[in-house]
Structure 1
Amino acid sequence: MFRTVKTLWKKWRASRSAGQQLDALLAVADADAPYAERSDWLIELAHWIHRGGKLDAAPPASASAGSSSGPTAEAPRRGPPEHARVRYLLHVLDRNPAWKANVGAMVRKLVREADSISLLCDAGMPVHSGLLGALSERIQAQLIPPAPSRRDLAALFTLMFPAAHDPEWIATLPPDLLGRLKDLIVEPERQTLAGAPASGETPPAADGEAEPGAPVAAEPGRSDLSVDLLTALHNLTCQISSTGLSPTVRSRLSGDEARVAVERLPFFRLTRAMLAVENARDAGEPDRLLQEVTWLRLLLDGCRKATDDVFAHLYRNGVRVDTVFQVERMRMRIQRAEQLLDAWMASDDLSMQARLVADLVKANQASQSVLHLVRSNFALLSRKVVELSADTGEHYIARDRAEYLTMLRMAAGGGLVTAVTVYVKFGVTGAHLPSMIEGVFAGLNYAVSFLVMHFCHLSLATKQPAMTAPTLARELDGANEPAGRARFVSSVVALIRTQAAAVLGNVLLVFPACLAIQLVCGWLFHVNLISPAKAHATLQSFSLAGPTPLYAALTGVLLWASSLFAGWADNWFVLHRVEDALAWNRRLRMTLGPAGAARLARFCRANAAGVWGNVVLGLMLGVVPALVSAISFHFEVRHVTLSAGSIGVAMGVLGTSTLGSGELWWAVAGVASMAILNVTVSFALALQMALRSRDLGRKDVRPLMRAIWRRISRHPVDLVWPRRKAANANEAAPH
């Protein structure tokens, strides 16, 4: 009688070694037990392979086997501990033929009775056609794991291999272990037909026909695995063809392929090619089979290229998450079909079979991960946002002296506009309105100021890092080559120099402008625009010794978030083809004429992201502090340009006596920390997002950081003043 899990657990707790635990487990194996109990037994065996514990120096021989019935234990070999446990398990089974026959029969019956297509074809593949459906499915799977009674191999693999390192040790199983596992699991060739059925298996009926419910033996030369692989291939090719011929994909095929008739698309011919492979296999014609398999590979490659065209279309014309979800699922199915085809053609290559199992385990684990789903499906949307920011950020990097001086002028103009913004802000706060209403008015003040800078082509220093970081990430695409690496280093140096120029241009204009406005008002009208108490409170609030660094870092997060909103706005505008809708709008064409409507459409396309990003940034700087202060902790915006202008107003009110006070210089130090944290935080967040959109990690960026340090140590002046174009060209040339 099959022992229950509770009984096994009590026995294992009383055991002193892993070998005794294994003996207890193998002793209760029963090939005639119900499916759920056999499945549960195999899960416990897999957990024993994962579990730690001391192994005996040599497997004990059972009383029925004798001391010389199997090989002795081999010396320990290097490798994962799971390899040693699998080797120990096989030694024990070799010394106990009855156990070995029973375990082999159990595994074979499990594989035959379970649905292998769920593992070969569907493992790692999202079932639902939308992101929300797949997300709810994975959350449910995390809360309710599959039961051992489910007759599909995907559920069995989920329970057997939960560890993240399982695919690694499975893929690296040595050849000798693979051969011995095959001898254990695979039924001896035609052994059942010879009249010696394996233990626990039903022999064929006397009249040559299988009894009802008995396992059907595979034809000679065609293993059950081969049949399952071919069935899964057929299933996958049908699904790929169906998705590829859907309007979602056909409408996004770019180039000449969009004008090709449907019957000439690789998706249309894929199912017929798969049927030709099956017919050649059934006819027993090896040469024809090889030819049909080659044609099937070419069509799968054509489907992959068409999928790349769809993604290229999405990059250019906007991203919809559900569309990304469906196309990415089709690409995964193409890759799985190629893997199964390789395994089917190399059925004797045990290492390839092990790698296939490892890939299936890894895919099955990924299909249960909510984090993996979110990352994979938002990667393309992140890349689209990054591409927009990269195109915009290129305008904020001064690479030569002319561009450097232009940036200084733009930053100076931005400082003058911010001076007006500072005084309006003091007027809003001086009205003593409710905090939320005050936040809304302050946000509108900021938004109007940023829009004026946008349309006047002026610059606000702290908005640049979130835009320029994606530009650097795009240049990382060619950083593996010497020329690309040199260009990347030059761009980083130019970026640092440009950021310093922009901050200085803002601060050196907003501070004297605010100071001059207060001095002029005091001289002409004998009035202070803010009270002396408010001036002292302003200086004290900017002190480096207070929460100013924390507020400055949180402000950097808001600056980065505004770039995301700008990218999403541009993606929405392009995805819904608003430019074409405006250019061909009947009322606009009648009012403005065709040329006027086209100019309006181009204007909206060029400024949609900028306007939306500036409006959102302004409102966030005003409203978010009020919201956070109301529900969590006190939070104030600490923006370097606005704070520098506020210090100028406070000095104009308090006079020269503040030059000898400590609160002024603590406030100056606080503004310096704002400049660093505003820029650093927003740049770091944008760069992290840009690197993730290109699947780049720290190990890929670390060599570039060393190259940047070498450049700065050799030419430190480049950080404050650009060299001539000729010198830059020589520096960027590969050595």
Structure 2
Amino acid sequence: MVTKTVIPPYRAIVDSKMHKVEKSMETVLQHHLQENGDEITLIAELVAKIRPPKSSQADHAEHMIGALCHILGRRPDLRAALRAALLKLLGTHKPVSLYVESGILPSTGFFTELYRRVSHKILPEAIDPQYLKDIFALVFTRHDGEVWVNAVPEARWLELLTELRFDEQAAETVLPLPVRGIMDAVRVLSYRISSIGLEPELIRNEPSLEEFASPFLTQNDEVGKYLEQFALAWEGSTLAFQDEKHIRVLLDQCAQIIQRIRRTASRSGTSISLTFLLQRLTQQLERMEYLLAILAALHEEKTGERARPLYVGLFKTLVSGECHKNDVRQHWRDSMELLALRVTENASRTGEHYITSTRSEYFALLKSAMGAGLIIAFMAMIKLFIAAQHLPPLTEALLFSLNYGLGFILIHILHFTIATKQPAMTASAIAASISEHGNSHDMENLTSIIAQTMRSQLAAILGNVLVVIPLAMLIAWGIMAATGAHFVAPEKAQHLMADIDPFHSLSVFYAAIAGVCLFLSGLIAGHHDNLAVYNRIPQRLKQLRWLKRLLGAARLARVADYVENNLGALAGNFYFGCMLGGVAAIGVVFGLPVDIRHITFSSAFLGFSLVGLDFAVEPQQLLVAALGIALIGLANLMVSFTLALSVAMKARKVTFAHWSTLLRSVGRRFGRKPREFLLPPKSQKGDELDAH
């Protein structure tokens, strides 16, 4: 049984205040009728009466529309005047630009559109009343107009259209101007879709557009025939009328090509321009199908009764588009979603390698993390040596950055794993899984992936920390044995211990800053992976004659393949090192309380400090240091993971409303199989097999 929205009769809610409002609206209509007023002024004044004091007060707008409906129902003269004003507004004020541009991405680039929106925010564009698009700015004067327009039930808007009684109009044999405006908009959209279908970047990613008849071009021919037949049929021609179904088939083929290009782009990379192009093309196809549906409804019934729900949907869409046409925040948000989609696809596939499902993978990750601990212990030693030289801040920051960046690159080349690099990658893989399973409520698969991720993360942390602390102590002891002096003086050791004290320092806040750096490095890695594939950098490297003479064809091929598979990781690691080395310098230069804390380096500093203090550390101080390292690690992981998961889900436009259900599922799994969160089973069975 289908439930319908029931709109209460207007008279059931009338009170004295509403009666005054009705009188004021009736006065506006009466004045327009007597003075033969301007249709723009009439519509603007009526919308001002309907508009609620606050956009959230949709009930007020609903009641105002009810009052207007009551007036129109009992005053045929006012009804005819308003109907004529609406038809004139839609027919004589060039509606095409409104239909084909509002709510659709512009053809300009990101920065050009950003500049336009900012400049028009400061100095609004001049209003040209010849265009219906500009008249919207006079009618909907507030940027939040879409809120109350969308909140008013569709049934109330339909009631208003019904009360206007368009069936009272004399039947027109000539095509009405408002209908011709919709037809012209369909024609323009068809031209624009054909133009985009010829874009070199589109053809490059879908070569079949050159080899076979392109639906982007074919649809334009069909649209031209359809519109010509529609005009003749409206005027009473007895010629056979071909409906719009064939055009819809062609538009579906265009949409399928877009999906193929997107799937190809997820494997072979994409560009910002291609991403924007596909998004704009998709929006244009959707708008064209919507306008064709309106024309089809009008062909079946000229009074427009069947098209009324479509009118309401189009009206809401156009109001939303016009209210946000200068919205800088929305432009930034939408653009960042497209950019995030571009850079997170590669991270998703990389993240799958950081999620272990078997014991062999688990112990391989553990050994890889232990190898990283070896390198980081020496990186921490070099960092302390550089700091002891008391160099100028910028010189010191440069050396810190090179130490971190080159060290992280070495770790990657040796196939070792830094624990905190995982979240930015695994978050994308989990977001991809939510996108695939979330709507089907397949919580078991998601729970299994989370369990695998948690134990993988634990293995990486243990591998890093359990090696870096004893090795740091061994290095400090070796230097002391060789030189007779502590590598870290007792005063410096106390300072290092204080730096990781969570109660008397900003160590957790600094760890959160490091988490942001980790997140950004994940985006940088995804960007460069995409860059290598889409711009065909490996193939271009192989074409360099001087490099081929220098390395030889076989060695150059191996170098090119390595660049294709590792450019993102190398760039992400190097830039991450630069961020870690530069944050403290930024704090010094600008006098800001910013620095970084990283769990693995903090563990190494703890090892150096213990030797520097000759292990004369009170148990309480040691416990506080251990707690500080644990909190630093937690902040590193949680901040980077949360940011990466948020961006990855936003990029895929995933809205997951079952977090509480997922948490309960994880809790039940942990209570039933706690070992699964610590160690993989001996063999892949059940959920583990399904999840992977």
- TM-score under structure 1 length normalisation: 0.84
Q: Is the 8 A contact 2:229 2:242 kept in 1?
A: no
| Residues 167 and 594 of structure 1: CA distance in aligned 2, closer, same or farther (over 3 Å) | farther
Cα deviation digits, residues 277-326 of structure 1 (max 9, x gap): 12322443999765352221111111222222333343333332223223
| Residues 525 and 390 of structure 1: CA distance in aligned 2, closer, same or farther (over 3 Å) | same
Cα deviation digits, residues 518-570 of structure 1 (max 9, x gap): 22333454211121111111111211112111111111111111111111122
Which residue does 1:536 correspond to in 2? 494
The amino acid across from 2:486 in the alignment is N
Offset of residue 458 of structure 1: 1.0
Cα deviation digits, residues 236-263 of structure 1 (max 9, x gap): 1111111112323222215xx24524xx
Offset of residue 147 of structure 1: 6.1
Partners of 1:516 and 1:406 lie apart in 2 by: 25
1:84 equivalenced with 2:63 (yes/no): yes
Offset of residue 47 of structure 1: 1.9
Partners of 1:175 and 1:620 lie apart in 2 by: 55
| Residues 634 and 393 of structure 1: CA distance in aligned 2, closer, same or farther (over 3 Å) | same
The amino acid across from 2:46 in the alignment is L
The amino acid across from 1:22 in the alignment is M
Which residue does 2:514 correspond to in 1? 555
| Residues 129 and 605 of structure 1: CA distance in aligned 2, closer, same or farther (over 3 Å) | same
Trace 1:459-470 onto structure 2 (pairs within 5 A): 459-470=417-428
Offset of residue 52 of structure 1: 5.1
1:454 equivalenced with 2:435 (yes/no): no
Partners of 1:30 and 1:319 lie apart in 2 by: 58
Cα deviation digits, residues 481-531 of structure 1 (max 9, x gap): 779543321111011111111111111111111112222333454211121
The amino acid across from 1:90 in the alignment is C
Which residue does 2:116 correspond to in 1? 137
Offset of residue 456 of structure 1: 1.0
Of residues 563, 569, 576 in structure 2, which corresponds to 1:610?
A: 569
Taking only aligned residues, the RMSD between alpha carbons, in angstroms, comes to 2.8
Trace 1:383-402 onto structure 2 (pairs within 5 A): 383-402=341-360
SS of 2:32's equivalent? coil
Q: Which one has more relative contact order, counting CA pairs under 8 Å at least 6 apart?
A: 2
Offset of residue 689 of structure 1: 0.8
Trace 1:345-494 onto structure 2 (pairs within 5 A): 345-347=296-298, 348=304, 349=306, 350-480=308-438, 485-494=443-452
| Residues 431 and 16 of structure 1: CA distance in aligned 2, closer, same or farther (over 3 Å) | farther
Which residue does 2:205 correspond to in 1? 252
| Residues 231 and 583 of structure 1: CA distance in aligned 2, closer, same or farther (over 3 Å) | same
Partners of 1:52 and 1:617 lie apart in 2 by: 50
Q: Is the 8 A contact 1:50 1:82 kept in 2?
A: yes
Partners of 2:272 and 2:633 lie apart in 1 by: 36
Listed as ranges, the gaps of 5+ residues in structure 2 are 1-16, 299-303
Listed as ranges, the gaps of 5+ residues in structure 1 are 1-13, 54-77, 191-217
| Residues 384 and 557 of structure 1: CA distance in aligned 2, closer, same or farther (over 3 Å) | same
| Residues 282 and 422 of structure 1: CA distance in aligned 2, closer, same or farther (over 3 Å) | closer
Which residue does 1:206 correspond to in 2? none
Partners of 1:235 and 1:730 lie apart in 2 by: 53
Of residues 315, 326, 341 in structure 1, which corresponds to 2:266?
A: 315
Q: Among the aligned pairs, what percent are the same residue?
A: 26
| Residues 290 and 81 of structure 1: CA distance in aligned 2, closer, same or farther (over 3 Å) | farther
Q: Is the 8 A contact 1:460 1:506 kept in 2?
A: yes
Partners of 2:496 and 2:232 lie apart in 1 by: 89
Offset of residue 665 of structure 1: 3.1
Partners of 2:122 and 2:150 lie apart in 1 by: 26
The amino acid across from 1:652 in the alignment is V
Partners of 1:630 and 1:82 lie apart in 2 by: 54
Cα deviation digits, residues 373-432 of structure 1 (max 9, x gap): 333334333123212112222221221211111111111111111111111111011001
Trace 1:569-588 onto structure 2 (pairs within 5 A): 569-588=528-547
The amino acid across from 2:452 in the alignment is A
Q: Is the 8 A contact 1:573 1:579 kept in 2?
A: yes
Which residue does 1:50 correspond to in 2? 51
Partners of 2:125 and 2:625 lie apart in 1 by: 61
Partners of 2:279 and 2:67 lie apart in 1 by: 42
Q: How many residues align?
A: 660
Structure number with larger C-alpha Rg? 1
Which residue does 2:224 correspond to in 1? 275
Partners of 1:614 and 1:188 lie apart in 2 by: 71
SS of 1:605's equivalent? helix
The amino acid across from 1:501 in the alignment is A
Cα deviation digits, residues 158-214 of structure 1 (max 9, x gap): 44344232442466134861453432x676215xxxxxxxxxxxxxxxxxxxxxxxx
Q: Is the 8 A contact 2:513 2:595 kept in 1?
A: no
The amino acid across from 1:370 in the alignment is V
Q: Is the 8 A contact 1:478 1:485 kept in 2?
A: no
Partners of 1:712 and 1:31 lie apart in 2 by: 77
| Residues 390 and 27 of structure 1: CA distance in aligned 2, closer, same or farther (over 3 Å) | same
For structure 1, which segment, 325-334 or 675-684, has the greater mean C-alpha deviation from structure 2 after superposition?
A: 325-334
Offset of residue 31 of structure 1: 7.6
SS of 1:409's equivalent? helix
Partners of 2:667 and 2:675 lie apart in 1 by: 13
Trace 1:674-689 onto structure 2 (pairs within 5 A): 674-689=632-647
| Residues 709 and 722 of structure 1: CA distance in aligned 2, closer, same or farther (over 3 Å) | same
Partners of 1:30 and 1:283 lie apart in 2 by: 35
The amino acid across from 1:122 in the alignment is E
The amino acid across from 1:25 in the alignment is V
Q: Is the 8 A contact 2:271 2:342 kept in 1?
A: no
Q: Is the 8 A contact 1:108 1:186 kept in 2?
A: no
Partners of 2:139 and 2:330 lie apart in 1 by: 20
